[in-house]
Structure 1
Amino acid sequence: MFDLKEILSVTLILFSVIDILGSIPIVINLRKKVGHIQSGKATIAAGVLMVAFLLVGKSILSLFGIDVEDFAIAGALIIFAIGAEMILGIELFKNDPEASSTSTSIVPIAFPLIAGAGTLTTILTLKSEFGQANIAIGIILNLIIIYAVLKSTHFLERKLGKTGLDILRRIFGIILLSIAIKIFKTNLFPGS
């Protein structure tokens, strides 16, 4: 049931899509505008969204007559766009940064920054390749990382610097492009 290789793969894929390290500049900017970011609330809200989508996302799709393979291909396209955005330094997905201190922890940090369209699509896409329990563990591991990063934005800002954050963002962008191509091929040409 539990597969360490699958858990590691899921964790890395979600880590790349969520791109919490690449989001540090956005989090720092929001913190400067509203004061305090509630890391715990943001992490819990994002976790609830991700786990709920893992459990009932397929049922929601079936209401619209969409199967997981179709959704996986659409997800691969979104993952590809996110990867291209990270590598090219362009912004395809816009965030709405207008909020108070309490609501900033939920919107835009928990949703859509952490558990946005790309993350939710990726979670459902992963169900076509990995076991649900392994995905759940990957989500939990990412939530731990997210909480730690949100709690240590001051430290990371000083240590990594702008260049370090840019390099990390581009590395994870290339990984995402590769993952998107693999998911696309697997679901468009099953059995090949």
Structure 2
Amino acid sequence: MNAEFSIVSTAILLMFVIDPFGAVPIILSILKDVDITRRRRIIIREMIFGLAILTLFLFGGELFLNIFHLETESVRIAGAVIFFVIGIKMIFPGEEGSSGLYGSSKEPFMVPIAMPLIAGPSTLATLLVLGKSHADATGKLFGALLLAWFISALIMYLSPLLYKLLREKGLSALERLMGMLLLMMSVQMFIDGVRGLIHTF
């Protein structure tokens, strides 16, 4: 990733971390016993909750970093490692997959769709990294977050249709593709972090 901020590339990065295609089977599993009309309302409500949590963390994350005196380069390198691990898990999921992690017969409220599917630890850590790396572009970062959230929300809202079209194998292939792209972006972020660290000496 370049030091220059790009709303589109940042939105793509955030969407990869949120991983809406990977969340589709999970959402369908959680809401399998809920009426279709009610299901759509739940998804919209949970997406709004998730956005509120992400926004709160975006604007409050800088305070967290300042408390621990974290430098931009160290945060960027740590973020690259996080993205690398996420990408590896997306490409090589466990034998059980992710669809069985959040099974529930009750209607979800906040958990597990808003957290951790949307505003999970990985997404919150990503916002910390981006917020620290682009402290002077918080407004643009918020715009990128809104764009990533909107695309992810649309994919999750259309989850029944997507599942019918792509089925499990198609969704799995898309998730692996997103994981591969995330791996490449993480390597570039690591290179940028190391390059910036070298320039400080």
TM-score interval (norm. to shorter): 0.7 to 0.9
Instruction: Percent identity, please.
Output: 30
Give the 3 Å change call, closer, same or farther, for CA 161–102 of structure 1 in structure 2: closer
The structure having more radius of gyration, on CA atoms, is 2
Q: Normalization by structure 2: what TM-score?
A: 0.81
- What SS is found at the alignment partner of 2:70? coil
Give the 3 Å change call, closer, same or farther, for CA 96–71 of structure 1 in structure 2: farther
* 2:48 matches 1:44: yes
CA separation in 2, counterparts of 1:149 and 1:69?
33
The count of corresponding residues between Structure 1 and Structure 2 is: 185
Report the Cα offset of residue 178 of structure 1: 0.9
1:42-191 to structure 2, matched below 5 A, reads: 42-90=46-94, 95-98=101-104, 100-103=106-109, 106-127=110-131, 128-129=133-134, 131-190=137-196
Q: Deviations over 1:54-99 (max 9, x none)?
A: 211011122233334322222221111110011112369x955457
CA separation in 2, counterparts of 1:172 and 1:102?
27
Question: Which segments of 5 or more consecutive residues in structure 2 lack a partner in the other structure?
Answer: none
Report the Cα offset of residue 45 of structure 1: 1.2
Q: Normalization by structure 1: what TM-score?
A: 0.85
Q: Which residue of 2 aligns with 1:13?
A: 13
Report the Cα offset of residue 26 of structure 1: 0.8
Report the Cα offset of residue 147 of structure 1: 2.4
| Equivalent residue letter for 2:45 | K
Deviates more, 1:151-160 or 1:33-42: 33-42
- What SS is found at the alignment partner of 2:187? helix
Give the 3 Å change call, closer, same or farther, for CA 163–102 of structure 1 in structure 2: closer
- What SS is found at the alignment partner of 2:69? coil
CA contact (8 A) 1:99 1:107 kept: no
CA separation in 2, counterparts of 1:31 and 1:171?
26
CA contact (8 A) 2:46 2:113 kept: yes
